[in-house]
Amino acid sequence: MSSSSGLTFKLHPLVIVNISDHHTRSKAQTGRAGRPPRVYGCVLGVQTGRTVEIFNSFELRYDPVEELLDRAFLETKQEQYKKVFPKYDVLGWYSTGSDVQDSDMLIHKALMDINESPVYVLLNPTINHAQKDLPISIFESELHVIDEVPSLIFVNASYTIETVEAERISVDHVAHIKPSDGSSAATQLAAHLTGMHSAIKMLNSRIRVLYHHLASIQKGDAEYEHSLLRQISSLVRRLPAIDSPKFQDDFLMEYNDTLLMTYLATITKCSSTMNELVDKFNTAYDKQNRRGGRTTFI
């Protein structure tokens, strides 16, 4: 069942990394003999109007046998994070598992005194190579009448992945780390340039396919496909969308910064060359300068 609240959820990669790390550590401590237990934690973020943005998370202590949540630990962690991130609020909680369980609603209700409408982030740690989407689900709670009895149930909510520059660099660096066989990890710059080169190469190849197809239609070698031509026309018409005053200002600022860096690098190189030339000149005429009492270049 889908959510009807109309909220827009934005999930940051740091939350996914934290949950994955929590599960991995729990699995490593359990070993191969036993099944790794579910992990629990709180998610932090900011809600602005109808937009909920989840930035960070921290772990929770929960006893699945007694079904008790360590409130003292939760309050301590919440106070610590509030000192470092004063703008972040507890938006909900997270857990791992393939699907929602009955005990999840107990934890959900226990957090309603902190947030009256908490968010539930569920990570499925089972590896499915055929699945291309992220194994992350976000749930909201809604009050529905079932068999004439009002009940609080979980409803699925859609979300998007939102990143900032620091997160993109970190995630890209982690994704390109080489195996620990003595070789060093790929640098962030090399990984960024490699990804940029691959994206530009793919874009160039797809544009060439469209160009050759349109050229074939113009020569009469291919039939007119009106649906395809409409799609190409719509794609081409999207190009002037970036031709705006803000884009021009940002582009010129970036262009000027690049020229300035190039100019400074050129000046530094010329200064270094001149310094080497002066040192060589002083060395060559050192004896003559000492005899004649002349002043050397400095």
Q: Enter the tokens of residue 249.
A: 């200002």
State how far the Cα of 140 lies from the Cα of 99, in Å rounded to an integer.
14
The per-residue DSSP string of 20-34 comes to HHHHHHHHHHH-SSS
Mean pLDDT of the 202-214 span: 89
Residue 44 pLDDT: 92
Using an 8 Å Cβ cutoff, are 88 and 105 in contact? no
pLDDT bucket at 115, cuts 50 / 70 / 90: confident
pLDDT bucket at 145, cuts 50 / 70 / 90: confident
> Domain extents for the chain?
8-162, 179-248
Q: Enter the tokens of residue 3.
A: 């959510």
Beta-carbon contacts of residue 118 (< 8 Å; ≥ 6 apart): 90, 91, 92, 93, 108, 111, 112, 141
Q: Which residue has the higher pLDDT, 30 or 93?
A: 93
Which pTM does this prediction carry? 0.56
* Residue from 75, 117, 121 nearest 97 by CA: 121
What architecture is the 8-162 domain classified under in CATH?
A: 3-Layer(aba) Sandwich (3.40)
What's the number of CA atoms in the CB half-sphere (13 Å) around residue 156? 7
Residue 240 pLDDT: 59
pLDDT tens-digit series, residues 42-63 = 999 998 888 999 999 999 988 8
